[in-house]
Every structure is written in structure tokens, then in C-alpha cells.
A = this chain, B = another copy of it.
Amino acid sequence: MEPIHSAEHSIYFESGLSPLKDIINQNQYSKIFVFADTNTSALCIPIFRSFLDEMEDFDIIETDPGEENKNIDFCIGIWKTLLDFGADRKCLMINLGGGVITDMGGFVASTYKRGVDFINIPTTLLSQVDASVGGKTGIDIDNVKNMVGTFSLPKAVFIEHTFLTTLSNREMLSGFAEMIKHGLIADAQYYETLKNSDYKNIQPQEIYRSVQIKNKVVTEDPLEKGLRKILNFGHTIGHAIETYALTHDKKPLTHGEAIAIGMICETFLSVKYCNLTTDELNDISKYIFSIYPKYKIKEKSFTKLLSLMQSDKKNEGGQIMFSLLEKIGNCNFNCRVTSADILSSLNYYNSL
């Protein structure tokens, strides 16, 4: 497949990592670090190595897996490790893993000695279709997602289908929610294609289409001043539910499971605020429920969920701002929604 050229960097698909060697040679990096969590280290580094017939030495920096470790303490650990390894400004960091690794690795790299080059190799479906493009890095503080971060572009991104063989169905489903979102906000036909596809067996060209959609949006609005906010569809409520579940549920939701819930709630709001038809609402709810498990949003969590939405980065002046569907394939942003209607949407979800 042709690489997608984004602002100042390229996203390579099914390249077998062959451009990586050139990038390393051209830039004459002083040292190469591969950053991974203990899971990806075991599963993905062997695949990574198998792509490379010869490559300069690299050091592996490992962290614990999971969103709960995407925090400042781990960052400090990585910064110090880089210093201990003698990493200078001309080093390269290769982030190999899911969104936690590319978000946190990107943040560490973009701030270590005021910024060193990094390359992202997303190994989960979620990170391939979402974190792979857009130049966002970030870590959580006090469980507030991505409260601290930068807008920093990786030198390159490599998307390889082979890595998906390491994933469970649940992890595939987590990434699939973002793909559904891409169809809903920007491409009705793609949404139909996905409805007829099998999330357990995603095709490379579907991933390609998702990255294309996201890339088009972020290239037009890299710093999220306007249009880019449509990518937030399903996330205002979804993020709040994800954060709540992370600290309150025995088995926390995956990102995609939370976003699936958020998309149903925000589709409900789209009917009132953006004239989406109830037929479209029913279609979307029915489809999402056909593949995602039902979740009970506890009534006692409602107040906390609202306050989590208040602290969402996309808000301005204390108002909770939503991105809502006008119709399938079209999304508006900066929709101000009342708290009462937000609660109605949570009740709507629970009633299904």
C-alpha cells in the first residue's frame, strides 16, 4: 500500500519496516531505544526483529502494561533511564506497542532534552487506527486522561497487520469502536462496509481507510482549534465512563467499550441537538449492541461522570462541549448540551 504522507512525516503500511533502515541511516542516530511494555516486549519484539535482517543495536526500555501506568512516575523513570544509558539529543526512540506506549513514549521523547526523534509502531488495532496519526502525546495525572502532553509528530509511523495476530478479540473490538466512529463522523459508505465486516478479521484496507479519514481531519486542524474536535464524537461521555470504570470497576472497560457506550449516548443527543433521525439512532444503537457487551451505567456514578466531563480538555469556559452527528457521515462540533440532557442520554443507554 502507498504510504499516507501526513504533516511532515509519513505513515507506512505493510512495508515490512523496510523504510526504517533508511531513516536511521539518514539521521545518523547516536543510539536507538525501543520502548515497550512487558506484554508487547514478549509478543511484538520477536515480530519486530523478524522484519529486520540487520539493524544497529538497540536498547529496550520496558514499562508495566496498562493505562494506569501511563503516569508521570513512569515518565520520570524513563527520562532517568535515558540519562543513565547516556542518551543524547541525537538518539531515536521507537515506541512499539499500544496507545499507552505511543502516547507516553511520544511524551517522554518530545520533552527529553527538549525533544528527541521518535518513531511509532502501533501494535494494537486501537493504536493503529487512532494513536497512529495526529501527533498527540500524553500522560494521565490523577487518572485524568492525557492531562499533560504535547503536540509532537513522530518521525514516521509503521502500520503492520502482522502485529494484530497478537491480540485477543476483546482488544480487536476496542480498536474497532474508533473505526465505527470514523465512518459515523465522516464516511457513511465506510460505516456500511464496517457493518458488513468482521471485527475479528479486519482487512488492511479498512485500517488504511480509517487512518486516511483521521489524517485528513488532523491535517486541516493540527492543534484542535475547530474541525479536529469531530474526532471527539463518543468521547466526551465515553472518556468519563472509561475513567470512572478504571477506578471503580473490578474489570475496567476497554477504551473501545467505553467509546461504544459514549457513541450511543451521544447519538441520542444528536437527535435533539443536530436533527439526526430516530431511524439513524436506532440503526447505530442496534449495530453497536450487536457486537459490544451491555454495560450498566450506575446511577450513583452520574454526578462524578458529569464532573469528569467538566474537566475534559475540549471544554471552554466551564461549558461541556460535544461533537454530534448531523447525519451518518457528518459531524458538528462545539455543541453545548445541558447537564439534564446528558443524564437523559445515560438513562437512554441503560434503557436499551
Is B151 in contact with A317, judged by CB distance below 8 angstroms?
no
Q: Does A198 touch B at the CB level, under 8 Å?
A: no
CA gap between A86 and B311 in the complex, in Å = 7
Q: How many identical subunits does the complex contain?
A: 2
Q: Does A23 touch B at the CB level, under 8 Å?
A: no
Is A150 in contact with B114, judged by CB distance below 8 angstroms?
yes
Contact of A147 among B83, B151, B317 (CB under 8 A): B83
**Interface size for chain A: under 10, 10 to 19, 20 to 34, or 35 or more residues?**
35 or more
Q: In chain A between 121 and 155, which residues have their CB closer than 8 angstroms to a CB of chain B?
A: 136-138, 141-142, 144, 146-151
Q: Does A110 touch B at the CB level, under 8 Å?
A: yes
Known: A83-B144, A111-B111. A90 touches B150 (CB 8 A): no
Q: Residue on B with the closest CB to A72?
A: B76
Q: Residue on B with the closest CB to A30?
A: B317
Q: Residue on B with the closest CB to A111?
A: B148
Contact of A113 among B79, B111, B115, B147 (CB under 8 A): B147
Is B313 in contact with A113, judged by CB distance below 8 angstroms?
yes
Find chain B residues with CB under 8 A from A316 CB: 30, 88-90
Contact of A88 among B86, B138, B146, B313 (CB under 8 A): B313
A72, A112, A113, A318, most chain B CB atoms within 10 A = A113
The smallest C-beta distance from A158 to any residue of chain B, in angstroms, reads 24
CA gap between A86 and B148 in the complex, in Å = 15
Find chain B residues with CB under 8 A from A111 CB: 111, 148-150
The smallest C-beta distance from A170 to any residue of chain B, in angstroms, reads 29
Find chain B residues with CB under 8 A from A112 CB: 147-148
Find chain B residues with CB under 8 A from A142 CB: 80, 83
CA gap between A110 and B146 in the complex, in Å = 13
Contact of A79 among B115, B136, B147, B310 (CB under 8 A): B147
CA gap between A80 and B148 in the complex, in Å = 10
Q: Residue on B with the closest CB to A148?
A: B111
Known: A72-B76, A88-B313, A311-B83. A114 touches B151 (CB 8 A): yes
Contacts from A to B (Cβ < 8 Å): 30, 72, 76, 79-80, 83, 86, 88-90, 110-115, 136-138, 141-142, 144, 146-151, 223-224, 310-311, 313-318
